């Protein structure tokens, strides 16, 4: 951005279309971006801001601020409270619907951030942190003591840069191309967003003062298209030692990344629903798909753990996350698999099949979260 344009930057903030004093699990929030004629949305400047309060009730507590043993995933931070985020434009309609959003954030953070990175202000403002203990403290909020000795609870607040297409653009987005943009978010279930040994069905969280912030500049009237990355999610499961998953996705995709969690740990109060867990007795994975140009069947068979993790890292590296590495992923206790395609593949016309050999059975089934990455142009 030139210094002249920087001097003409406008900072915008918008409240939800339907405002509430308190937002809880399952609530939907619509947030509007309207930079106006003759202006462009600054690339990757969209943020969601809110105040957080974690509550404990039952066991003698009646909706008071939690005291201990409840937290959110430290790698996901403030993103933990949004289950799905979609983007719709006035001119194009729906352009992205990011479902099971938090597990995608988890795989990105686990692969790209180390303990020192969590000290950066860009991560701290998102409530990302290096340990579960710090996340527990942040979930409690702050309790400063005023001059009279009275404790005055203060909610934690956060400002996240959601991993949506508007934050994965290669240049600023003119209003003329899209018209008004709506970012819609569904709030996560209590048992997904918060976990810990004291978490129960009566514990909850609240968000207050939700707002969207973004920047705009005068439209430079460039003829080039705006390119952005979008994601498509498919959820499946593993019920036996040989699991075959066959999918179509309505997009031309560049790569796929997959992460896993046992059903017994997914959306269960005391467990972290966003943890990237290993597959019991994993042996090998086989990817099969038709190549777009030759229509020939291509197959990848992977069994070496080092290669599997590197393929996973390659799959997410080109999705606007160039700091990812297999060393960070291992150090942070992550596990997943994926594949970067040799060329973009139209998965609306060509079905992709994944076959996994493991020791999984129907007594200990596993949920599979698949994220397909694609590019669109405006």
Tell me the percentage of the chain whose pLDDT exceeds 70: 90
Predicted local confidence at residue 6, as pLDDT: 56
The 10s digit of each residue's pLDDT in 277-299 is 999 999 999 999 876 555 567 89
- Band of residue 60 on the pLDDT scale cut at 50, 70, 90: very low
Most confident among 55-64, 272-281, 342-351 (mean pLDDT): 272-281
Predicted local confidence at residue 294, as pLDDT: 54
pLDDT above 60 (res 1): no
Burial string for 250-285 (b: 16+ CB within 10 Å, else e) reads: ebbbbbbbbbbbbeebbebbebbbbbbbbbeebeeb
Query: CA 46 to CA 228: how far, in whole Å?
Result: 14
Of the ranges 87-101, 108-122, 149-163, 293-307, which one carries the lowest mean pLDDT score?
293-307
Predicted local confidence at residue 223, as pLDDT: 87
pLDDT above 50 (res 61): no
The 10s digit of each residue's pLDDT in 6-54 is 569 999 999 999 999 999 999 999 999 999 999 999 999 999 999 999 9
For the segment 115-140, the average pLDDT, to the nearest whole number, is 93
pLDDT above 80 (res 151): no
Predicted local confidence at residue 142, as pLDDT: 78
CA dihedral over 73, 208, 269, 264, signed as positive or negative? negative
Answer with the residue of higher pLDDT: 108 or 320: 108
Phi, then psi, of 190 in degrees rounded to 5 = -55, -45
For the segment 332-341, the average pLDDT, to the nearest whole number, is 94
Predicted local confidence at residue 95, as pLDDT: 97
For the segment 123-142, the average pLDDT, to the nearest whole number, is 92
Predicted local confidence at residue 62, as pLDDT: 42
- Band of residue 317 on the pLDDT scale cut at 50, 70, 90: confident
Predicted local confidence at residue 59, as pLDDT: 38
Query: CA 274 to CA 265: how far, in whole Å?
Result: 9
Between CA 57 and CA 61, with CA 59 as vertex, the angle to 5 degrees is 40
- Band of residue 57 on the pLDDT scale cut at 50, 70, 90: low
pLDDT above 60 (res 321): no
User: How many angstroms separate the Cα of 172 from the Cα of each of 118, 128, 161, 220, 325?
Assistant: 28, 27, 16, 9, 28
For the segment 184-200, the average pLDDT, to the nearest whole number, is 92
pLDDT above 60 (res 64): no
DSSP H stretches of helix in the chain:
3-6, 101-112, 121-124, 132-140, 175-178, 190-193, 305-317, 326-331
Q: How do strand 93-98 and strand 82-89 relate by DSSP bridges?
A: antiparallel
Tell me the percentage of the chain whose pLDDT exceeds 90: 76
**Residue length, the chain?**
378
- Band of residue 327 on the pLDDT scale cut at 50, 70, 90: confident
The 10s digit of each residue's pLDDT in 202-254 is 889 999 999 999 999 999 998 899 999 999 999 999 999 999 999 999 999 99
Per-chain mean pLDDT for the chain: 91
Residue 121 CA, chain-centre distance (Å), reads: 19
- Band of residue 70 on the pLDDT scale cut at 50, 70, 90: confident
- Band of residue 58 on the pLDDT scale cut at 50, 70, 90: very low
The SS3 call for residue 136 is helix
């Amino acid at each position: 951005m030139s210094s002249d344009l920087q001097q003409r930057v406008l900072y915008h903030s918008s409240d939800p279309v339907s405002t509430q004093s308190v937002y809880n699990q399952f609530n939907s929030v619509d947030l509007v971006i309207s930079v106006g004629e003759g202006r462009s949305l600054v690339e990757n400047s969209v943020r969601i801001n809110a105040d957080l309060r974690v509550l404990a009730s039952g066991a003698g507590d009646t909706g008071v601020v939690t005291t201990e043993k409840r937290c959110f995933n430290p790698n996901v931070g403030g993103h933990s409270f949004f289950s799905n985020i979609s983007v719709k434009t006035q001119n194009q309609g729906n352009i992205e619907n990011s479902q099971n959003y938090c597990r995608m954030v988890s795989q990105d953070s686990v692969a790209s951030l180390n303990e020192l990175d969590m000290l950066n202000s860009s991560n701290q403002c998102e409530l990302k942190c290096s340990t579960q203990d710090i996340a527990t403290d942040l979930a409690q909020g702050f309790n400063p003591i005023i001059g009279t000795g009275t404790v005055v609870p203060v909610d934690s607040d956060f400002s996240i840069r959601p991993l949506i297409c508007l934050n994965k653009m290669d240049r600023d987005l003119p209003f003329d191309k899209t018209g008004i943009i709506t970012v819609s978010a569904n709030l996560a279930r209590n048992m997904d967003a918060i976990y810990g040994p004291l978490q129960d069905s009566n514990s909850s969280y609240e968000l207050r003062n939700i707002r969207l912030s973004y920047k705009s500049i005068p439209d430079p009237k460039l003829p080039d298209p705006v390119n952005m990355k979008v994601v498509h999610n498919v959820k499946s499961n593993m019920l036996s030692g040989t699991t075959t998953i066959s999918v179509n996705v309505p997009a031309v995709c560049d790569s796929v990344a997959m992460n896993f969690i046992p059903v017994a740990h997914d959306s269960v109060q005391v467990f972290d629903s966003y943890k990237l867990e290993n597959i019991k007795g994993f042996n090998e994975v086989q990817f099969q798909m038709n190549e777009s140009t030759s229509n020939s069947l291509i197959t990848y068979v992977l069994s070496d753990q080092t290669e599997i993790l590197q393929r996973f890292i390659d799959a997410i590296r080109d999705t606007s996350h160039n700091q990812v590495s297999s060393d960070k992923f291992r150090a942070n206790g992550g596990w997943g698999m994926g594949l970067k395609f040799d060329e973009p593949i139209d998965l609306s016309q060509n079905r992709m099949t994944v076959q996994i050999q493991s020791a999984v059975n129907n007594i200990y089934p596993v949920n599979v979260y698949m994220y397909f990455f694609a590019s669109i142009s405006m």
